Amino acid sequence: MKLTSNMLALWFVLLEVCVALSPAQVLLQRPTLSKTSIAFSFAGDLWIVPREGGEARLLTSGSGEKTDPKFSPDGGLIAFTGDYDGNVDVYVMPAEGGVPKRLTHHPAIDEVVGWTPDGKSVLFRSARNSYSRFNRLFTVSIDGGSPSELPLPMAEAGSFSADGKRIAYVPRSNFRRLSGIAWRRYRGGLAPQVWIAELADSSIAEVPHETSQDWNPMWVGEKVYFISDRDGPASLYAYDLNTRAVKAILKSDGQDIRSASAGPGGIVYEQFGSVHLLDTATGSEKVIDIRVPADLPSVRARFLKIANEIENFNLSPSGARAVFEAHGEILTVPAEKGDVRNLTNTTGVSERDPAWSPNGKWIAYFSDQSGEYELQLRTPDGMGEIKKIGLGNPPSFFYSPVWSPDSAKIA
């Protein structure tokens, strides 16, 4: 019996399976460093852990996302971006925990960038005074009141010198921050770069820059550290204010350094969801072992309607069943009677692009189970061993497998 278009549409509506969701991947973001602790954002809340690592403790709760934590210079307070009251604003709270205090009340989005050197005000970015969709930098007192605008035409991020007279800042939008994805090797006119401004007269000097993306400046003594992709993956560099030379401090091993924050004696940074600590005196670095005892009901095993997650589908040669890719799984469904079969049922693995062989004996699909995409072949009943076919080096992405008519080859 052949599947009709009406039957196929029905399966798109009715497909429902029990999906075992993976335990939360510990993707720790936006770490910040004090003399004794590291704070970071995870699962929409703020957490804190001893500088040596260990079990993290939850600092925030309630609805809305909390992110961008920044320790005050003395480590006693944490400023952060929150949307408790239905708008994204600047908040501050004691580092040991407590009731957050809202510092900004403008309908525009206000996002924490850092602190003034004296620890009396929080530095944040906002488009509140802009005639278009670019940001400027402001400071607001920890006691509240009206924010003060820095004398810069536009700015996305910044870090003050110790005397507060200069600021290293990024004037243009950073696609990584705005989109949430890595625009690797972007070399267009909006590539961010680091400038150094004298706040007394707004004069600027540029950190040596060609066509790379440079962002996340951190002023430490007589150096400005920053992240750059000038030599490949995003790595950590330092600009010496005396010699005016840029030096690679920490080369990435292939995964981008996403964010970094300077604190007493070191720089804490985020790389591929883990937190690392660089000792700025010795140049040594280490991964911080952090355990997050989070209650995350969204990752428990449960039944889901995944019809709206169907990405690809294919018919069996007889038309008795169809195969679907949905929620990272490969499933077959009957035209009329029978059960849904989850052929893969692999928590934390993505399978996609299923193709049924003309002789009906195999279903081919791509899987990243090994860490890189490979071609896998499985029998339609899900029994027996999986045939795994590597796709060579360097690793890449592959799409749309097509069987030859004799079921002997796949293009």
Q: What angle do CA 156, 162, 166 make, to 5 degrees?
A: 50
Which stretch of DSSP H or E encloses residue 13?
helix 5-14
Token digits of residue 174: 């950073």
Q: Tens digit of pLDDT for each residue in 148-174?
A: 999 999 999 999 999 999 999 999 875
Token digits of residue 54: 């260990």
CB-CB neighbours of 65 under 10 Å:
15
Q: Tens digit of pLDDT for each residue in 1-29?
A: 444 544 444 444 345 555 444 444 458 99
Mark 118-157 as b/e (b = at least 16 C-beta within 10 Å). eeebbbbbbbbeeeeeebbbbbbebeeeebeebebebbbb
Residue 189, pLDDT score: 82
| CA distance linking residue 358 with residue 129, whole number of Å | 63
CATH topology of domain 5-22+297-389: Neuraminidase (2.120.10)
Q: Tens digit of pLDDT for each residue in 220-259?
A: 999 999 999 999 999 999 999 999 999 999 998 888 999 9
- The mean pLDDT of the chain is 90
| CA distance linking residue 239 with residue 245, whole number of Å | 6
Cβ-defined contacts of 241-247 (< 8 Å, 24+) = 241/196, 244/208, 245/208, 246/207, 246/208
CATH topology of domain 29-291: Neuraminidase (2.120.10)
Q: Tens digit of pLDDT for each residue in 91-140?
A: 999 999 999 999 999 999 999 999 999 999 999 999 999 998 899 999 99
| CA distance linking residue 110 with residue 25, whole number of Å | 29
Strand pairing class (290-291; 54-55): parallel
pLDDT-derived band at 63 (thresholds 50, 70, 90) equals confident
**pLDDT tops 60 at residue 40:** yes
Q: Tens digit of pLDDT for each residue in 368-382?
A: 999 899 999 999 999
Of the candidates 203, 315, 184, the one whose C-alpha atom is nearest the C-alpha of residue 254 is 184
Q: Tens digit of pLDDT for each residue in 330-359?
A: 999 999 989 999 999 888 899 999 999 999
Residue 22, pLDDT score: 42
Of the candidates 252, 248, 284, 251, the one whose C-alpha atom is nearest the C-alpha of residue 265 is 284
Intervals of CATH 2.120.10.30 along the chain = 5-22+297-389
Intervals of CATH 2.120.10.60 along the chain = 29-291
**pLDDT tops 90 at residue 288:** yes
- What pTM was computed for the model? 0.78
